[in-house]
Copies of this chain bind each other. A is one copy, B any other.
């Protein structure tokens, strides 16, 4: 299991432009057969701060997502309006059953 947090920081004046791009990206990604979860949230204190919480079976599935037509078309369109670089964290689940092995993948 691979969990991902990806954060975008969009210029305030461009929010209305990126909303339909995000909507299309979420809808197309949720239709990918390997996508377990791909949910988009907005920071309550900063409406230009968009946060994806994703889940994929493994790194290969994430790479396939990043190579998809919709990702390669829509992400550069969204990135035109960024106010700073996007960030991401790749994570494993905290393993509740084993102190010495942090990841359950």
Contacts and interface: CB of A to CB of B under 8 A. Distances in A.
Contact of A51 (B47, B50, B89): B89
Label chain A's interface by main secondary structure. strand
Q: How large is the interface on A (under 10, 10 to 19, 20 to 34, 35 or more residues)?
A: 20 to 34
A91 interface: yes
Nearest to A44: B90
A27 B94 CA distance: 12
A16 B47 contact: no
Contacts of A45: 90
A43 B94 contact: no
Given A22-B94, A23-B96, A39-B93, 11 more contacts: A3-B41, A26-B96, A41-B91, A41-B92, A42-B94, A43-B89, A44-B92, A45-B90, A47-B102, A50-B94, A53-B53
